[in-house]
Amino acid sequence: MPSPTLTGFPHRVVVGLAELAVSNNPNAILTTYSLGSCIGVAVYDPAARVGGVLHAMLPESAMDPAKAQAHPGMFVDTGVAALVRATTQMRADPRRLRFYLAGGARIMDDQNLFNIGTRNLEAFAAFLRRENRSLAAEQVGGQVNRTMYLAIETGRVTLKVSGTANEVVLG
């Protein structure tokens, strides 16, 4: 369990599959579990101390526009756009947002038939190009599951990678 902060004890907010969450509560730690072929995107504005996490399953909403309308976090393209919008509604400046990426692994797809992880990473890269943005840090690919944490008070993004004892600090 994370240590207490000066402002109180940490409050874990779990971001489920195909969901996103944003916060400006300094005690919040946004957490998403089991990023295999899915991607986790964390964004943070250090001046406003606002951040968010997305757990996206599939690359492009064009495969099911109705589902994307109801659940934008299911898809990379609609999910990242919704995440940025949600943080700006909490007074984050989109120009200051730092982007962190994890996941996109090849899990249970040894033959590379579906290639969902790679396709998710490509969809996120397309977003970055379209918006003329860059990544602050990433840990992607391979054949491991990851859990992503974003501490709102500090903007620190960490990962727990299956099969490893130490946490990985992205930012």
pLDDT of residue 1: 43
Domain coordinates of the chain in residue numbers? 11-169
* Predicted pLDDT at 7: 52
Structure confidence at residue 164 (pLDDT): 87
d(CA 83, CA 28): 17
38 annotated active-site: yes
Q: Give the active site residue among 13, 20, 22, 38.
A: 38
Residues of the chain with pLDDT under 70: 1-8, 108-114
Task: Give the CATH number of domain 11-169.
Answer: 3.30.1330.200
pLDDT for res 163: 85
